[in-house]
Structure 1
Amino acid sequence: MSRIGKLPIKIPTNVDVTFNGPEITVKGKFGTLNNTIPDILNVEKVDDNLIIKLQQQTNKTRALHGLYRSLLNNMVIGVSEQFKIVLNLNGVGYRGAVQGKLLILNLGFSHPIEIEIPDEITVEVIKNTTVNLQSCNKEDLGLFAAKIRAWRPPEPYKGKGILYEGEIVKRKAGKSGK
C-alpha cells in the first residue's frame, strides 16, 4: 500500500466534495474542480476526511493510489486557498504588462511576446519585473508558468531569463575563466 495513498485528506469547512460514480467534484471559495477516479480505487467520506482505498494490490494500483490521493488533495487545497507561482524577469529591458486577457512580455526580442491568459488563472505584474500567477488548478498553473518561462529560460553565463522565485542559477565562467 502506498504511504502517500494511506493518508487521509482533511476537508476544510468551506469545501464541498460530491461523488457521482467515478466523477468527483470539489467546490470551494475559489472555484470548482472535477476529476475522474479509476474503477480500481474507492473514495469514502468519513467525518471531515476523504479516504482512498484499493480494491486489489498490484504495482499499478499502488502507484495510482498515491497519485490520485495527491491529485484530490491538490483539488481540495486549490479551491480553499489557491496556488501561487512567482516569476522574476532578470535582464536589461525585460518587462511584463497585463492588457485585458493578454500578458505582454518584452524579453529582448525585436517584438513583444503576447501570451493569452487562461480564464481560470489570474496574472498580476508588480514593478514590471515580477509576475504573480494564481489559480485553484495546480496543473494548469504550472503548465502556464512553464509556457511563459519557455520564452527565455535562465542562461548560466549572465543569469538572464525568466526565473521562478527562489531559483538559483548555477553560474559558469566565460571564455576568460579557464
Structure 2
Amino acid sequence: MQQILLPDSDATDALGRALALTRVSPAVVHLRGDLGAGKSTLARALLRALGVQGAIRSPTYTLVERYPLEDGEAWHLDLYRIGDAGELEFLGLDEGTAVLWLVEWPERGGSSLPKADLVIGLSVEGLSRQARLDALSGNGEAWLSRLSGYPHLTQLPASPVQSS
C-alpha cells in the first residue's frame, strides 16, 4: 500500500504520468472515490502519457471508451450510471483486446469485471486530494514497486502513512 498527497491538479497529472511510465501489462485498475475525487482526471493523465492523441472523453454516458496503445487497447469504463452488472454484457468487454482497464465505480460491475491488479482510492482532503494505491496481484505489486522508484513521484508529498 502506498499513500500520496496530491496538493493540486498538477500533482494528480504527475501521478497519472508516473503510472503510465511504470505500467505493467496487462493490468486492471479500479479507481475508487466519491464524485469529484479526481478519478477521470487521473485516468486522462495516464492515457495522455501513454500516447493517446485527440480527445480523451469521460465515459460517463457511453460507459466505455477505447483507446489504441502500442501494445493493444486501453479501456476506460465509468459504471456510475449502470443499474445492474448484467448491463455490461452488451458492451463487448469479453473481446480480450484490452491490455489496460481503467474502471471507475468498479463495485457496480460486480463479478462481470476482471479482478483488479491495482486499486487506486482517491479522496478529497481539504483543498487537496489523497491517493491510496493497493496492489492486489503480482502485476499490481510489480507496478507499485516500479512506481516507488519513479523519480518525479518522490517529489509529491507522502501522506502520514506511506506504506504498509
TM-score (structure 1 length as normaliser): 0.27
Greater fraction of residues in helix? 2
Higher-Rg member (1/2): 1
TM-score, length basis structure 2: 0.28
Which structure shows the bigger proportion of residues in strand conformation? 1
Work out which structure has the larger RCO, using CA pairs closer than 8 Å and 6 or more positions apart in sequence: 2
